[in-house]
Structure 1
């Protein structure tokens, strides 16, 4: 009798262990399932392709979201080749924000092929693009839409709306942060116009490595007088192209031309030497914000740094940007 009682007790204990183990496994499975859609802390996962988009998204999203940027500061989106880790990040995302207009062709191709179910938003394509002639009758949209702070406002609004759709409970937070950022961008826009106007009128001409400043030029009243290559850095300039640019620089009489942080400056240095002009001592941020701690490590600081570089090199008078918060 005692043996039967002990056997029953053992059986009851084993059954209890099985039930508890099942509950524990079920709980773990539930946590793992949630982690595939949200970060461990419960925040929505947002992936931004470019450093510019990542920065604007962080400003609007604040602490309510987890932002992962695929490109690092100084990386050229035109020629970037994705790595396996990029595929994993895209598959785990709740929302993917990319520039569009074929700025980041490698990432766009990977994104379209990924198995994730995240919404994909081409933030740059909320802006009506400039159409640039690549020659031989080929016209393409210019992807460098962020060159104008007014365009950046449209991008911020698109990011805000996408985040609200993703996390409706944080609508007020996203709305307030977007309003504050928009206020500062409007001030930046007006300040940049004023800064460029300090450059002598006959010197308001910009010569850069690649054709990334058309929106900036049109918004702020400075002509794009020449570029070494077109809108994509995949292009390789011929000797004839280099020589034509040298001759053009001599004719227009600009005091300086500009290199860019995402492109090897060797060839534009040669152009400057042959044309007998100065290569501006500071490089322009074109397709990426600067590394953390640099003078261009946010979108707003990037536009300010570029404006300072242009104004000082072309004979204007630079006054630091001081927004009213």
Structure 2
């Protein structure tokens, strides 16, 4: 289990330090409801552990394991974008008041470490759910994610890995097991409850994974070559038998150049991709141009970093939705 205090870069610390100064001087607000997981949330007990997660996906996992013994807030709101998230003064206050911080790691949400450090949060426990998990085949990331995450640390030093492990349900089970261990360590008075809820959730995840594999197995072999919007789905593809032959954008927040769009159009034709999948929180302009030039349909809005409204207001619902969209499009 990785339970640490985060280091941070001085360049980002200065900016976030200014934010925190404004907060502590003039702000005592509480987190807004837009940052809370929404699916079947129990009312927290009076002594509930205050947990702050970076995304709604991770917050939902915390809620599933913690139940009434946790009060969970997601910094990136529903429909938000973790890659380009810009912390606010209210976020700094929320982090400073937390008793546990939950992040993905692998460069996806390193900004949480900057906030925690500048909030004087060196003593707040932090768990990075994706780091150094046994049994995971880490896939290569790009230069925009994880490039300095491993500076001076562990056996992955200097490497960049794709951080979207949770789109393989088997890897999410590893997240949940680490999360349960962390909650038990931080709040041992409720250890039995955490262990029991984690076991129930893992059983649901195992059922989801089996269903997903059965559904994905119905896709014809010749229809398994697709274009994704960005590098979020390699673990999904690896687990469930797709081949991603290209992505519309290199990194969130960076529109593709004309040359990159042209190269992708050529790749779609050469690789005989059968579908272009968009993502709910991103514009579709570039994908639409590629579709117009190649005749390959844009199909389905997939979810990855953020939950949405029902039926995608939980991790379980999000993954069911993604599988259903993919299977329907590729039959």
Q: TM-score, normalised by structure 1?
A: 0.79
Q: Corresponding residue for 1:288?
A: 306
Q: Which has the higher helix share?
A: 1
> Which has the larger Rg?
1
Which runs of structure 2 are paired with 1:215-294 in the superposition (5 Å)? 215-230=235-250, 232-280=251-299, 282-291=300-309, 294=310
Query: For 2:247, what is the secondary structure of its paired residue?
Result: strand
Distance 1:196 1:259 in 2: 19
Residue 119 (str. 1) matches residue 125 (str. 2): yes
Question: 1:159-214 deviations in whole A, cap 9, x for unaligned?
Answer: 10111112111111111110011011111112111111111101112211101001
Which runs of structure 2 are paired with 1:1-325 in the superposition (5 Å)? 41-116=46-121, 117-127=123-133, 128=136, 129-132=138-141, 134=143, 140-230=160-250, 232-280=251-299, 282-291=300-309, 294-315=310-331
Deviation at 1:240, TM superposition (A): 1.1
Contact persistence 1:79–1:104 (CA under 8 A) = no
Deviation at 1:148, TM superposition (A): 0.4
Distance 1:108 1:141 in 2: 18
Question: 1:133-161 deviations in whole A, cap 9, x for unaligned?
Answer: 549x9951111110100100000011101
Residues 247 and 177 of structure 1: is their aligned pair in 2 closer, same or farther, counting only changes over 3 Å? same
Distance 2:222 2:132 in 1: 34
Question: 1:200-245 deviations in whole A, cap 9, x for unaligned?
Answer: 1011122111010011111111111110123x31433211111111
Query: For 2:301, what is the secondary structure of its paired residue?
Result: coil
Q: TM-score, normalised by structure 2?
A: 0.78
Distance 1:270 1:184 in 2: 40
Contact persistence 2:219–2:330 (CA under 8 A) = yes
Distance 2:130 2:303 in 1: 17
Contact persistence 2:101–2:126 (CA under 8 A) = yes
Judge which range, 220-229 or 253-262, deviates more. Answer: 253-262
Distance 1:126 1:188 in 2: 24
Judge which range, 158-167 or 120-129, deviates more. Answer: 120-129
Contact persistence 2:224–2:274 (CA under 8 A) = no
| Structure 1: 5+ residue stretches without partners | 1-38, 316-325
Distance 1:87 1:221 in 2: 41
Distance 1:41 1:229 in 2: 45
Judge which range, 74-83 or 183-192, deviates more. Answer: 183-192
Distance 1:58 1:198 in 2: 33
Distance 2:116 2:139 in 1: 25
Distance 2:84 2:142 in 1: 20
RMSD: 2.0
Contact persistence 1:144–1:212 (CA under 8 A) = yes
Contact persistence 2:169–2:209 (CA under 8 A) = yes
